[in-house]
Amino acid sequence: MKKISICVACYNEETNVGAMAMAIIQEMEKLPQYDYEVIFVDNNSEDNTQKILREVAENNKKIKVIFNNRNYGPGRSPRNALRHTTGDAIISLPCDFQDPPKLIKTFIRHWEDGYYVVYGQKMGSKEGKIKYFLKSIYYKIIVTFSDIPQYKHVSGISLNDRKVLDQLLSADETIGFRYLTAELGYEVKLVPYIQEKRRSGKSSYNVSRYFSHAISSLVISSTAPLRVATVLGCITSGISFFMGIIYLVYKLIYWQQFSAGLAPLVIGMFFFVSIQILFIGLLGEYIGAIFKKLTKVPPVIEKELINLDEPDDSTDFE
């Protein structure tokens, strides 16, 4: 019997974890031909999430829980949890219900059809038109600048075959799975859906974190911005040189009538200084990415494991 592992990352999701566990189990009970496990990884929540997860795991041994020692962020924590999975196919799913668990059946069907990787692709979102529009711009930039083909609006729910997941986990930990998947070159099945509103609670992501993630993704997926900086630097330098020559000749010809003034000098100075600062910051991002690769990242410390080292005997979920 094939086994499906479903990995759910959560942080301060006390109003969602119980309902999410129930929803996943209901979906998997519709597929009796598969064995399954559900692994919740809690990133050191500060509310009642851990208490609820203990109760859920006590009632069903197929529910397995990892409590992290601290909040390791949205990248390292789920990646570490995926190392505990034992299924033939592994589904990653957020805990906020924006990516509906009802897609699980569709994902498994495409996996059985021969696709090693299945991604949910958002064709629209109920979370807000402005937010979706800004994300669309972000994905367009990533697709335009990336050195290899990327996929638009793929985040949240995904399925990886065991072979693919093992390859992803053995790769550079500073690179997100989406970009690694594109690098590996597997054919990806995209499942279109409309992203729902967050069921309850508040996302830990704000504008600052989204912007930081966007910059990091661009730096990781492409070196094109560095080439743009070089080309733009050459262009602006050339323009400045010719403008300086023209300015000088014009002044020599019309010495009395043409007043130089400070305005062109000040405007030009601020323009070129801002360009320099922009690209110094861009260069800093790449240096930071190199630093992360060279620095040995400490492992995710697991404070407690529940049901992961116990026999996988199913009981009814209450």
Cα three-residue angle 300-303-306, rounded to 5 degrees: 110
Among the residue ranges 17-21, 179-183, 257-261, the one predicted with the least confidence is 257-261
> What's the chain's average pLDDT?
80
Cα three-residue angle 134-135-139, rounded to 5 degrees: 120
One DSSP character per residue, the chain reads: --EEEEEEEESS-TTTHHHHHHHHHHHHHT-TTSEEEEEEEE---SSSHHHHHHHHHHH-TTEEEEEESS--HHHHHHHHHHTT---SEEEEEESSSSS-GGGHHHHHHHHHTT-SEEEEEEEEESS-HHHHHHHHHHHHHHHHH-SS---TTEEEEEEEEHHHHHHHHTS-TTS-HHHHHHHHT--EEEEEEEEPPP-SS--S--HHHHHHHHHHHHHHH-SHHHHHHHHHHHHHHHHHHHHHHHHHHHHHHTTTT----SHHHHHHHHHHHHHHHHHHHHHHHHHHHHHHHHS-PPPPPEEEEESTTS--------
DSSP 202: -
Provide the pLDDT confidence category of residue 315 given band limits of 50, 70 and 90.
very low
How much is the pLDDT for 218?
A: 65
How much is the pLDDT for 261?
A: 60
Name which of 257, 75, 62, 260 is nearest 168 in CA terms: 75
- At 54-76, the pLDDT tens digits run 999 999 999 999 999 998 887 88
How much is the pLDDT for 211?
A: 61
CA atoms within 13 A on the CB side of 270: 5
**Residue whose pair of structure tokens reads 């601290």 in the numeric block:** 70
- At 97-115, the pLDDT tens digits run 888 899 999 999 999 999 9
How much is the pLDDT for 207?
A: 58
pLDDT of residue 313 exceeding 50, the answer is: no
How much is the pLDDT for 209?
A: 61
CATH number of the domain located at residue range(s) 3-208+299-306 in this protein: 3.90.550.10
- At 122-177, the pLDDT tens digits run 887 777 677 777 777 777 777 776 667 777 778 778 999 999 999 988 877 767 77
Name which of 190, 16, 19, 199 is nearest 107 in CA terms: 190
First to last CA, the chain: 25
* Encoded amino acid at 170, one letter: S
How much is the pLDDT for 314?
A: 42
How much is the pLDDT for 191?
A: 92
Cβ atoms of 116 and 164 within 8 Å: the answer is: yes
Q: Helix (H) and strand (E) counts for the chain?
A: 10, 8
How much is the pLDDT for 318?
A: 41
179 or 60: which carries more pLDDT confidence? 60
How much is the pLDDT for 316?
A: 42
- At 132-145, the pLDDT tens digits run 777 777 777 777 76
Residues whose CB falls within 8 Å of the CB of residue 144, separated by 6 or more in sequence, listed in order: none
Specify the pTM. 0.72
How much is the pLDDT for 149?
A: 72
Q: What is the largest CA-CA distance in the chain?
A: 95
pLDDT of residue 206 exceeding 60, the answer is: no
List of E strands, 99-169 = 117-125, 154-161
Can you say whether the dihedral through the CA atoms of 9, 4, 162, 86 is positive or negative? positive
